[in-house]
Amino acid sequence: MSQRKRAASNKSRRPKVIPMRLDATFFFERAVQSLDRFHYDKALKYFRRAVEYEPENPVNHCNMAGILSEMGRYEESNVILRSVLDQIDPAMTECYYYLANNYANMELYEAAEEALVRYLENDPEGQFLDEADELLDLLGYELNRPTKIATIKSKENMYAHDKARELLEAGRFAEAVKILEDIIERQPDFLAARNNLGLAYYYMGLFDKSVQTITEVLDAEPGNLHALCNLAIFYQHANRDAALRSLMEKLRKTVPFHPEHVFKLATTLGIVGEHREAYRHFRRLLKTGELSGEPSLHHFAAVAAANLGLFDESDRYWRQAGRLDPDSEVPAFYLKKLEKIRAGEEKPPVHYHYHLPFEEQFKRWETSPGLVSEALKRDPLIRSSFFWALRHGDRRTKVQVIQALGLVADDEVIEALKAFLVDPEEEDELKRVAVLVLRSIGVQDSLVVTFSGRTLTLEARRKSAKLPVWDSAWQAVLEQALENMSGRYDVVQQHDMMTLWVDYLSRVYPEVPKLHKASGWAAALEYWTAKMHRRTITYSDLVNRYGASQASISRYANRIDEACGIREKLDLTTPAFKEPK
């Protein structure tokens, strides 16, 4: 071959050679791939190469320290962390927190305490504040004395923040919000408190306020993992796909250092549908063993595996969850469901909460209201799902939720239902059900309600005993009365009819008569409502509109009067019905 031909041949082959760009990003990605396979030696090697390419980037050094920590080489990890603080970036205060964890694993509790106090002194609003609180408790136990926190800048608000977190975990969201708002007013840069405030708003169904609050956290600290994960879940529920995709690009590249942060990221990825990435992190946690005693972790890994078609793995994880938490219904429920998933009869579960699905809770409520009542009181996750459904569910779900919340009837529920009454976006009929539930659980004060754009104050006209449950038969009577009175009676008059019905039921309970003819009872309620407002009512009108006999309507009207004494209060001496002339 001539020289010219050889040159032409070489030139034609050159475009087929793809150059490999070796930089810090290349080795970072190789390290992450090695982590996925639990090849920690290789991951460490690749992180070291990333450090060689970007020696001034403290994140690369921290990644290397994190791998060493997971491998149990705590002293080597500490050498790197101290070099970051001393030579590369003294402002990277989270290194003190990492040091404290390493020292605690080495059982050097005095050194761990000193490092942790340094962290809290220098970064009182840092992203690891929640975890630092837990480590403080552990150190206090191991040292058998209170931890030395006298000089921590955030001490004034730390105890209040602890209280707010306890309230959140107990499902008492409104109380937590008040405390957290006070903390932020005193200390606006307390990001952990602001993060939890956003979460509390979200649990209460106040989506816009939750997003605004989390955005404020990210404005102050763009890499705050808790805030990024919370925001991703918010966007998922609100169907903000474009915003979620942009956020997920950041989260997929994140490799958390601390196990609790790996857990947070993994559950977030699962909730937004990134099951493969979620499964990778869950397996990593189970492999390291630090959280392997948590039944919820095995449940989450099982859900992720089921969505990936790894049914044998799902079976194994749910069985382990059942062994770790034998009193829970969750593992057994999903193991039974897995049989149908394998057969193609059902789809894999799409949510990662460690409780029974929302629909299953309602099924059980219909057969045994006490079960859901206890679950709502005991489990904040179930409680938060009900509050969310109150704001964002369909009409049928909202009716069920309002009635279910009436079974709990605590201050949190009362505040949520009162807020529901003034929301201009909610339907008037749903608000009437909420008013009824509030009256039935003994709320006697005035209620402010927005009906059809008008704000009204509904006064309680009579006292009534609290009803322990609201029966569907009672609701059927009420709905017939409301349907027939709609357009003919104003909102206040309809409210008085509802209040009368609750008053009657409360007075005769538990000896409530069997309501075989709902139409007759509904007609009797309209009759007394008309009398209370000095409106003319005729027998013919009620019979024609309700389809009930005169004898039935008269009998039920007399029963209501006997229990509530309406005739005596109104000083009525006229016959029960005014016949047409």
First to last CA, the chain: 123
What's the pLDDT band for 33 if we cut at 50, 70, 90? confident
Mean pLDDT of 529-556: 88
List the structure tokens of 149. Answer: 């926190």
**Contact criterion met (CB below 8 Å) for 187 and 159:** no
- Whether 145 has a pLDDT exceeding 80, the answer reads no
Q: What is the pLDDT of residues 60-102, one digit of tens each?
A: 888 888 889 888 899 999 999 999 998 888 888 889 999 999 9
pLDDT at 575 over 50: no
What pLDDT does 578 receive? Answer: 40
CA-CA distance, 477 to 282, in Å (whole number)?
A: 52
**What CA–CA distance (Å, rounded) separates 337 from 235?**
29
What pLDDT, on the 0 to 100 scale, is given for residue 463?
A: 52
Is residue 284 within 8 Å of residue 38, measured between CB atoms? yes
* Residue 239 pLDDT greater than 50, yes or no: yes
Range 477-493 average pLDDT: 81
Q: What are phi and psi of 80, to 5 degrees?
A: -65, -45
Statement: residue 413 has pLDDT above 80: yes
| Residue 234 · residue 211 · CB < 8 Å | yes
Asked if pLDDT for residue 438 goes beyond 70, the answer is: yes
For range 458-463, the mean pLDDT: 60
pLDDT of residue 173: 81
pLDDT of residue 574 exceeding 50, the answer is: no
Pick 358 or 212 by higher pLDDT.
Answer: 212
Q: Does residue 434 surpass a pLDDT of 70? A: yes
DSSP 374-422: HHHHH-HHHHHHHHHHHHHS-HHHHHHHHHHHHHH--HHHHHHHHHHHT
Write the secondary structure of 119-152 as one string of H (helix), E (strand) and C (coil): HHHHCCCCCCHHHHHHHHHHHHHHHCCCCCCCCC
Average pLDDT rounded to a whole number, residues 308-319: 94
Q: Look at residue 189 in the predicted model and tell me its pLDDT.
A: 85
Indicate the pLDDT class of residue 371, thresholds 50, 70 and 90. low
Return the pLDDT at 279: 93
Least confident of 305-309, 379-383, 525-529, 569-573: 569-573
In this predicted model, what pLDDT tens digit does every residue of 465-476 receive, in sequence order?
A: 556 666 778 878
pLDDT at 13 over 60: no
Average pLDDT value for the chain: 81
Average pLDDT over residues 499-513: 85
Distance of alpha carbon 262 from alpha carbon 294, whole angstroms: 14
Q: Is the pLDDT of residue 504 over 80?
A: yes
- Alpha-carbon span 60 to 64, nearest angstrom: 6
pLDDT of 153 > 90? The answer is: no
Please check whether the domain covering 472-570 is classified as CATH 3.60.10.10: no
Q: What is the pLDDT of residue 580?
A: 35
Q: Please give the pLDDT value at position 311.
A: 93
Per the structure block, which two tokens stand in for 544?
Answer: 């024609």
Give the integer Cα–Cα distance in Å for 478 and 502.
10
Output the pTM of the full model: 0.54
Question: Binning pLDDT at 50, 70 and 90, where does residue 152 land?
Answer: low
Kindly indicate the confidence band of residue 581, based on its pLDDT and cuts at 50, 70 and 90: very low
Overall size of the chain counted in residues = 581
Residue 114 and residue 137: Cα distance in Å, rounded?
14
Q: How confident is the model at residue 354 (pLDDT cuts 50, 70, 90)?
A: confident
Which of 359 and 515 is assigned the larger pLDDT?
515
Does the pLDDT at position 12 exceed 60? no
Nearest to 320 by CA among 308, 330, 310: 330
Q: In this prediction, what percent of the chain has a pLDDT beyond 70?
A: 84
Of the listed ranges 19-23, 482-486, 503-507, the least confidently predicted one is 19-23
